[in-house]
Structure 1
Amino acid sequence: MQSNIGSRFSLTRNHLQSLPPASEYKARAAFISPVTTLFCSSVVKPLSVHINSSASAFSGEFEISGLEIDAPFQADPKSTENTTVSFVFNDQNTPKASPASCSLTWAVGLSPPSQALPGVCSDRSVRAWLPSGTYNGVADFQIEVAHTYEDNTLGDPPYNINTLFGFLSLTSGDAGEMSNYTCDMTRANCRSVPETILIAKVLYAVS
Protein backbone atom coordinates (compact mmCIF):
# COMPACT_ATOMS: atom_id res chain seq x y z
CA MET A 1 0.00 0.00 0.00
CA GLN A 2 1.55 3.28 -1.07
CA SER A 3 1.73 5.94 1.63
CA ASN A 4 -0.49 8.96 0.96
CA ILE A 5 1.65 11.35 2.96
CA GLY A 6 3.98 13.52 0.89
CA SER A 7 7.41 14.63 1.92
CA ARG A 8 6.14 18.17 2.40
CA PHE A 9 4.33 16.91 5.48
CA SER A 10 7.43 15.34 7.05
CA LEU A 11 7.20 17.52 10.17
CA THR A 12 3.61 16.47 10.81
CA ARG A 13 4.27 12.81 9.96
CA ASN A 14 7.29 12.57 12.22
CA HIS A 15 5.32 14.07 15.08
CA LEU A 16 2.47 11.61 14.60
CA GLN A 17 4.82 8.65 14.44
CA SER A 18 6.26 9.69 17.79
CA LEU A 19 2.86 9.83 19.47
CA PRO A 20 2.42 7.32 22.32
CA PRO A 21 -0.06 4.45 21.94
CA ALA A 22 -3.71 5.45 22.14
CA SER A 23 -4.02 3.50 25.38
CA GLU A 24 -1.88 6.18 27.01
CA TYR A 25 -4.26 8.96 25.98
CA LYS A 26 -7.02 7.42 28.06
CA ALA A 27 -4.82 7.53 31.14
CA ARG A 28 -3.86 11.12 30.41
CA ALA A 29 -7.38 12.31 29.66
CA ALA A 30 -7.79 13.91 33.07
CA PHE A 31 -4.61 15.92 32.63
CA ILE A 32 -4.77 17.23 29.06
CA SER A 33 -7.19 19.47 27.27
CA PRO A 34 -8.98 18.26 24.10
CA VAL A 35 -6.63 20.39 22.00
CA THR A 36 -2.91 20.60 22.67
CA THR A 37 -1.06 23.31 20.73
CA LEU A 38 2.51 22.68 19.63
CA PHE A 39 4.78 25.56 18.60
CA CYS A 40 7.72 25.11 16.23
CA SER A 41 10.16 27.87 15.36
CA SER A 42 9.88 27.04 11.66
CA VAL A 43 6.08 27.09 11.64
CA VAL A 44 4.26 30.41 11.66
CA LYS A 45 0.86 28.94 12.48
CA PRO A 46 0.54 26.78 15.63
CA LEU A 47 0.10 23.08 14.92
CA SER A 48 -2.87 21.68 16.85
CA VAL A 49 -3.33 18.04 17.77
CA HIS A 50 -6.96 17.04 18.30
CA ILE A 51 -7.75 13.83 20.18
CA ASN A 52 -11.21 12.80 19.05
CA SER A 53 -13.27 9.73 19.85
CA SER A 54 -16.44 10.89 18.09
CA ALA A 55 -17.87 9.17 15.03
CA SER A 56 -17.33 12.36 13.01
CA ALA A 57 -13.57 11.71 13.00
CA PHE A 58 -13.97 8.26 11.43
CA SER A 59 -16.81 6.16 10.06
CA GLY A 60 -15.29 2.71 9.68
CA GLU A 61 -13.29 0.12 11.57
CA PHE A 62 -10.04 -1.75 10.95
CA GLU A 63 -10.20 -5.17 9.30
CA ILE A 64 -7.72 -7.89 10.31
CA SER A 65 -7.43 -11.09 8.26
CA GLY A 66 -5.00 -13.98 7.90
CA LEU A 67 -3.94 -13.56 11.53
CA GLU A 68 -1.61 -16.15 13.04
CA ILE A 69 0.44 -16.29 16.22
CA ASP A 70 3.08 -18.94 16.81
CA ALA A 71 4.84 -19.23 20.18
CA PRO A 72 7.03 -22.37 20.23
CA PHE A 73 8.46 -21.56 23.67
CA GLN A 74 4.96 -21.56 25.20
CA ALA A 75 4.49 -25.16 24.03
CA ASP A 76 8.06 -26.31 24.68
CA PRO A 77 10.14 -24.53 27.36
CA LYS A 78 13.29 -25.83 25.66
CA SER A 79 12.51 -24.02 22.42
CA THR A 80 14.64 -21.04 21.43
CA GLU A 81 12.43 -19.96 18.53
CA ASN A 82 10.89 -16.49 18.38
CA THR A 83 7.23 -15.73 18.93
CA THR A 84 5.60 -14.21 15.84
CA VAL A 85 2.27 -12.51 15.19
CA SER A 86 1.35 -11.81 11.57
CA PHE A 87 -1.78 -10.47 9.89
CA VAL A 88 -3.15 -8.43 6.98
CA PHE A 89 -4.53 -4.96 7.74
CA ASN A 90 -7.22 -3.00 5.92
CA ASP A 91 -8.88 0.29 6.92
CA GLN A 92 -12.56 0.74 6.07
CA ASN A 93 -11.98 4.50 6.20
CA THR A 94 -9.58 4.38 3.22
CA PRO A 95 -11.22 1.91 0.80
CA LYS A 96 -8.96 2.90 -2.12
CA ALA A 97 -5.79 1.96 -0.23
CA SER A 98 -4.23 -1.47 -0.60
CA PRO A 99 -4.01 -3.85 2.38
CA ALA A 100 -0.80 -3.92 4.42
CA SER A 101 0.89 -6.99 5.86
CA CYS A 102 2.24 -6.78 9.42
CA SER A 103 4.52 -9.05 11.43
CA LEU A 104 5.66 -8.65 15.04
CA THR A 105 8.42 -10.85 16.44
CA TRP A 106 10.11 -11.15 19.82
CA ALA A 107 12.70 -13.52 21.25
CA VAL A 108 12.39 -15.99 24.10
CA GLY A 109 12.62 -14.21 27.44
CA LEU A 110 11.60 -10.82 26.03
CA SER A 111 8.27 -9.02 26.20
CA PRO A 112 6.24 -8.32 23.05
CA PRO A 113 6.82 -4.93 21.38
CA SER A 114 4.62 -2.49 23.31
CA GLN A 115 5.24 0.50 21.04
CA ALA A 116 5.40 1.13 17.32
CA LEU A 117 8.61 -0.08 15.68
CA PRO A 118 9.75 0.68 12.11
CA GLY A 119 9.33 -2.04 9.53
CA VAL A 120 6.60 -3.96 11.36
CA CYS A 121 4.10 -3.35 8.53
CA SER A 122 4.64 -3.23 4.78
CA ASP A 123 3.19 0.29 4.66
CA ARG A 124 4.93 2.80 6.91
CA SER A 125 1.62 4.62 7.51
CA VAL A 126 0.43 1.52 9.41
CA ARG A 127 1.93 0.64 12.80
CA ALA A 128 1.14 -2.20 15.18
CA TRP A 129 2.12 -3.35 18.66
CA LEU A 130 0.82 -5.26 21.68
CA PRO A 131 -0.21 -2.86 24.47
CA SER A 132 1.92 -3.29 27.58
CA GLY A 133 0.61 -5.90 30.00
CA THR A 134 -1.99 -7.36 27.62
CA TYR A 135 -0.10 -10.44 26.40
CA ASN A 136 -1.00 -13.56 28.39
CA GLY A 137 -0.08 -16.15 25.78
CA VAL A 138 -1.44 -17.06 22.36
CA ALA A 139 -4.98 -17.56 23.70
CA ASP A 140 -5.29 -14.18 25.40
CA PHE A 141 -3.73 -10.98 24.07
CA GLN A 142 -4.48 -7.64 22.40
CA ILE A 143 -3.22 -5.89 19.29
CA GLU A 144 -3.23 -2.13 18.80
CA VAL A 145 -2.97 -0.69 15.29
CA ALA A 146 -2.53 2.91 14.14
CA HIS A 147 -3.09 4.20 10.62
CA THR A 148 -2.06 7.67 9.41
CA TYR A 149 -3.49 9.13 6.21
CA GLU A 150 -4.60 12.34 4.50
CA ASP A 151 -8.17 13.52 5.08
CA ASN A 152 -8.86 16.78 3.26
CA THR A 153 -12.14 17.25 5.12
CA LEU A 154 -10.04 18.18 8.16
CA GLY A 155 -8.45 21.22 6.51
CA ASP A 156 -5.63 22.31 4.24
CA PRO A 157 -2.14 20.76 4.40
CA PRO A 158 -0.48 20.14 6.77
CA TYR A 159 -3.65 20.11 8.88
CA ASN A 160 -5.26 17.30 6.89
CA ILE A 161 -3.35 14.44 8.54
CA ASN A 162 -5.47 11.98 10.52
CA THR A 163 -4.32 9.03 12.65
CA LEU A 164 -6.76 6.37 13.80
CA PHE A 165 -6.12 3.92 16.65
CA GLY A 166 -7.85 0.53 16.69
CA PHE A 167 -7.85 -2.36 19.16
CA LEU A 168 -8.40 -6.09 18.77
CA SER A 169 -8.70 -8.56 21.66
CA LEU A 170 -8.02 -12.22 20.87
CA THR A 171 -9.10 -14.99 23.23
CA SER A 172 -9.62 -18.73 23.17
CA GLY A 173 -10.34 -21.49 25.70
CA ASP A 174 -10.56 -20.37 29.32
CA ALA A 175 -10.02 -16.74 28.29
CA GLY A 176 -13.21 -16.86 26.21
CA GLU A 177 -14.01 -18.47 22.89
CA MET A 178 -14.09 -16.43 19.67
CA SER A 179 -15.91 -17.98 16.73
CA ASN A 180 -13.32 -16.82 14.18
CA TYR A 181 -10.16 -17.55 16.21
CA THR A 182 -8.93 -21.10 16.81
CA CYS A 183 -5.96 -22.48 18.74
CA ASP A 184 -3.87 -25.62 18.85
CA MET A 185 -2.42 -25.33 22.33
CA THR A 186 -0.20 -28.40 21.88
CA ARG A 187 1.81 -26.25 19.46
CA ALA A 188 0.90 -22.84 20.96
CA ASN A 189 -0.38 -21.79 17.56
CA CYS A 190 -3.55 -19.78 16.98
CA ARG A 191 -5.03 -18.28 13.84
CA SER A 192 -8.10 -16.61 12.46
CA VAL A 193 -10.46 -18.84 10.50
CA PRO A 194 -9.61 -18.66 6.76
CA GLU A 195 -11.70 -16.29 4.66
CA THR A 196 -12.96 -14.43 7.72
CA ILE A 197 -12.34 -10.88 8.92
CA LEU A 198 -11.73 -9.81 12.50
CA ILE A 199 -12.79 -6.27 13.38
CA ALA A 200 -10.42 -4.04 15.34
CA LYS A 201 -12.58 -1.34 16.89
CA VAL A 202 -11.38 2.20 16.14
CA LEU A 203 -11.60 4.18 19.37
CA TYR A 204 -9.47 7.28 18.82
CA ALA A 205 -8.55 9.74 16.10
CA VAL A 206 -5.64 12.18 16.36
CA SER A 207 -5.46 15.02 13.84
Structure 2
Amino acid sequence: MNRRVRTAALTAATAMALSAALAAPAVAAGPVAAPGGHAATERAVRAAVADGVPGVTVTVRRGHGTWAATAGVGDLKKGTPRSARDHYRIASITKTFVATVVQMVSSSADLNRFYSALLRGRLLPPEQLEEMKTTVPSSRETSRYGLGLVDRKLSCGVHVWGHDGGIYGSNSDAVTSEDGRHSLAVNFNGDWSGSTDAIIEAEFCGR
Protein backbone atom coordinates (compact mmCIF):
# COMPACT_ATOMS: atom_id res chain seq x y z
CA MET A 1 0.00 0.00 0.00
CA ASN A 2 1.58 3.31 -1.06
CA ARG A 3 1.77 6.41 1.14
CA ARG A 4 -1.14 8.19 -0.58
CA VAL A 5 -3.44 5.21 -0.13
CA ARG A 6 -2.38 4.80 3.52
CA THR A 7 -3.03 8.49 4.20
CA ALA A 8 -6.46 8.34 2.58
CA ALA A 9 -7.36 5.22 4.54
CA LEU A 10 -6.19 6.78 7.82
CA THR A 11 -8.15 9.97 7.12
CA ALA A 12 -11.31 7.97 6.36
CA ALA A 13 -10.89 5.87 9.50
CA THR A 14 -10.28 8.97 11.63
CA ALA A 15 -13.34 10.68 10.17
CA MET A 16 -15.47 7.66 11.05
CA ALA A 17 -14.09 7.56 14.58
CA LEU A 18 -14.67 11.28 15.04
CA SER A 19 -18.22 11.03 13.75
CA ALA A 20 -18.89 8.21 16.18
CA ALA A 21 -17.40 10.19 19.07
CA LEU A 22 -19.61 13.18 18.31
CA ALA A 23 -22.72 11.07 17.81
CA ALA A 24 -23.00 10.43 21.56
CA PRO A 25 -26.06 11.93 23.28
CA ALA A 26 -25.92 15.69 23.75
CA VAL A 27 -25.98 17.34 27.17
CA ALA A 28 -29.28 17.12 29.00
CA ALA A 29 -31.52 20.18 29.23
CA GLY A 30 -30.77 20.50 32.95
CA PRO A 31 -27.50 20.02 34.86
CA VAL A 32 -26.50 16.46 35.77
CA ALA A 33 -24.17 16.13 38.70
CA ALA A 34 -20.63 15.04 37.88
CA PRO A 35 -18.15 13.79 40.48
CA GLY A 36 -16.83 16.69 42.54
CA GLY A 37 -18.31 20.09 43.10
CA HIS A 38 -18.49 23.00 40.67
CA ALA A 39 -19.25 25.88 43.06
CA ALA A 40 -16.06 27.74 42.11
CA THR A 41 -16.81 27.32 38.40
CA GLU A 42 -20.33 28.61 38.87
CA ARG A 43 -19.02 31.64 40.75
CA ALA A 44 -16.54 32.34 37.92
CA VAL A 45 -19.36 32.16 35.36
CA ARG A 46 -21.45 34.66 37.32
CA ALA A 47 -18.38 36.89 37.77
CA ALA A 48 -17.83 37.01 34.01
CA VAL A 49 -21.38 38.29 33.49
CA ALA A 50 -20.96 40.79 36.32
CA ASP A 51 -17.78 41.96 34.55
CA GLY A 52 -19.75 42.80 31.42
CA VAL A 53 -20.06 39.63 29.33
CA PRO A 54 -23.69 39.47 28.09
CA GLY A 55 -23.96 35.71 28.52
CA VAL A 56 -21.90 32.60 29.32
CA THR A 57 -22.50 28.91 28.69
CA VAL A 58 -20.19 26.23 30.09
CA THR A 59 -20.37 22.45 30.01
CA VAL A 60 -18.14 20.09 31.99
CA ARG A 61 -17.73 16.40 31.32
CA ARG A 62 -16.09 14.30 34.02
CA GLY A 63 -16.11 10.54 33.87
CA HIS A 64 -19.67 9.55 33.00
CA GLY A 65 -21.24 12.72 34.41
CA THR A 66 -22.05 16.00 32.72
CA TRP A 67 -22.61 19.36 34.40
CA ALA A 68 -23.68 22.58 32.72
CA ALA A 69 -24.22 26.17 33.81
CA THR A 70 -25.40 29.34 32.08
CA ALA A 71 -25.65 32.98 33.04
CA GLY A 72 -26.81 36.15 31.35
CA VAL A 73 -28.59 36.51 28.04
CA GLY A 74 -28.11 34.94 24.62
CA ASP A 75 -30.05 37.58 22.71
CA LEU A 76 -29.70 41.17 23.85
CA LYS A 77 -32.73 42.39 21.89
CA LYS A 78 -35.12 39.69 23.06
CA GLY A 79 -33.54 39.10 26.46
CA THR A 80 -33.50 35.34 25.82
CA PRO A 81 -31.31 33.61 28.42
CA ARG A 82 -28.26 31.58 27.41
CA SER A 83 -28.72 27.82 27.12
CA ALA A 84 -26.44 24.80 27.54
CA ARG A 85 -27.61 23.81 24.05
CA ASP A 86 -26.43 27.04 22.40
CA HIS A 87 -24.39 26.71 19.21
CA TYR A 88 -21.56 29.15 18.58
CA ARG A 89 -18.60 29.79 16.30
CA ILE A 90 -15.43 28.24 17.71
CA ALA A 91 -12.90 30.23 15.62
CA SER A 92 -9.29 29.07 16.19
CA ILE A 93 -10.39 25.98 18.12
CA THR A 94 -10.90 24.48 14.64
CA LYS A 95 -7.09 24.20 14.39
CA THR A 96 -7.26 21.08 16.53
CA PHE A 97 -9.88 19.60 14.21
CA VAL A 98 -7.88 20.45 11.09
CA ALA A 99 -4.85 18.77 12.67
CA THR A 100 -7.00 15.66 13.13
CA VAL A 101 -9.54 15.70 10.29
CA VAL A 102 -11.87 18.44 9.09
CA GLN A 103 -15.14 18.31 11.02
CA MET A 104 -17.80 20.87 11.95
CA VAL A 105 -18.78 21.16 15.62
CA SER A 106 -20.65 23.94 17.26
CA SER A 107 -21.65 23.26 20.86
CA SER A 108 -19.95 22.82 24.23
CA ALA A 109 -21.07 19.19 24.41
CA ASP A 110 -19.54 18.48 20.98
CA LEU A 111 -16.25 20.11 21.99
CA ASN A 112 -16.06 18.07 25.20
CA ARG A 113 -16.73 14.82 23.36
CA PHE A 114 -14.12 15.63 20.73
CA TYR A 115 -11.29 16.58 23.08
CA SER A 116 -12.08 13.70 25.43
CA ALA A 117 -11.97 11.20 22.56
CA LEU A 118 -8.79 12.75 21.16
CA LEU A 119 -6.82 12.71 24.43
CA ARG A 120 -8.03 9.19 25.25
CA GLY A 121 -6.52 7.94 21.98
CA ARG A 122 -9.77 7.09 20.25
CA LEU A 123 -9.26 9.24 17.14
CA LEU A 124 -5.62 8.89 16.12
CA PRO A 125 -2.85 6.28 16.25
CA PRO A 126 -0.57 6.83 19.28
CA GLU A 127 2.34 8.14 17.21
CA GLN A 128 0.17 10.82 15.57
CA LEU A 129 -1.33 11.94 18.87
CA GLU A 130 2.20 12.14 20.26
CA GLU A 131 3.16 14.45 17.39
CA MET A 132 0.21 16.71 18.19
CA LYS A 133 1.37 16.82 21.82
CA THR A 134 5.00 17.61 21.00
CA THR A 135 5.17 21.27 22.00
CA VAL A 136 7.32 24.36 21.64
CA PRO A 137 7.32 27.52 23.80
CA SER A 138 4.50 30.02 23.13
CA SER A 139 4.06 33.69 23.92
CA ARG A 140 2.66 32.75 27.33
CA GLU A 141 4.91 31.32 30.04
CA THR A 142 2.15 29.01 31.25
CA SER A 143 1.45 27.35 27.90
CA ARG A 144 3.23 25.48 25.12
CA TYR A 145 1.99 24.93 21.57
CA GLY A 146 1.80 21.64 19.68
CA LEU A 147 0.06 20.70 16.41
CA GLY A 148 -3.31 22.32 17.00
CA LEU A 149 -3.10 21.57 20.73
CA VAL A 150 -2.06 23.86 23.57
CA ASP A 151 -0.63 22.47 26.81
CA ARG A 152 -1.51 24.82 29.68
CA LYS A 153 -0.11 24.64 33.18
CA LEU A 154 -2.64 25.99 35.66
CA SER A 155 -1.84 27.75 38.93
CA CYS A 156 -2.37 24.52 40.91
CA GLY A 157 0.10 22.58 38.73
CA VAL A 158 -2.55 20.73 36.71
CA HIS A 159 -1.93 20.46 32.95
CA VAL A 160 -4.84 20.71 30.52
CA TRP A 161 -4.84 20.33 26.74
CA GLY A 162 -7.05 22.18 24.28
CA HIS A 163 -7.40 25.42 22.35
CA ASP A 164 -9.13 28.77 22.50
CA GLY A 165 -10.76 30.78 19.77
CA GLY A 166 -12.19 34.23 19.29
CA ILE A 167 -13.99 36.29 16.69
CA TYR A 168 -15.72 39.66 16.93
CA GLY A 169 -18.26 39.38 19.72
CA SER A 170 -17.38 35.84 20.84
CA ASN A 171 -14.72 34.03 22.90
CA SER A 172 -14.55 30.25 23.29
CA ASP A 173 -12.24 27.87 25.13
CA ALA A 174 -12.10 24.08 25.34
CA VAL A 175 -9.71 22.03 27.46
CA THR A 176 -9.39 18.52 28.84
CA SER A 177 -7.19 16.71 31.31
CA GLU A 178 -4.24 14.58 30.21
CA ASP A 179 -6.32 11.40 30.50
CA GLY A 180 -9.31 12.92 28.67
CA ARG A 181 -11.68 12.23 31.57
CA HIS A 182 -12.30 15.82 32.70
CA SER A 183 -13.27 18.29 29.99
CA LEU A 184 -14.62 21.83 29.90
CA ALA A 185 -15.93 23.98 27.07
CA VAL A 186 -17.06 27.56 27.56
CA ASN A 187 -18.33 30.38 25.37
CA PHE A 188 -18.71 34.12 26.02
CA ASN A 189 -21.02 35.95 23.61
CA GLY A 190 -18.86 39.05 24.12
CA ASP A 191 -15.15 39.64 23.58
CA TRP A 192 -14.59 42.82 25.58
CA SER A 193 -14.51 41.60 29.17
CA GLY A 194 -14.45 38.53 31.39
CA SER A 195 -11.90 35.72 31.46
CA THR A 196 -12.31 32.14 30.26
CA ASP A 197 -9.02 31.43 32.07
CA ALA A 198 -10.73 32.22 35.38
CA ILE A 199 -13.45 29.64 34.66
CA ILE A 200 -10.86 26.97 33.71
CA GLU A 201 -8.87 27.68 36.89
CA ALA A 202 -12.07 27.48 38.95
CA GLU A 203 -13.05 24.10 37.49
CA PHE A 204 -9.68 22.34 37.59
CA CYS A 205 -8.12 24.06 40.61
CA GLY A 206 -11.19 24.97 42.65
CA ARG A 207 -10.22 28.62 42.88
TM-score (norm 1): 0.25
TM-score (norm 2): 0.25
Q: Which has the larger radius of gyration?
A: 1
Bigger proportion of residues as helix? 2
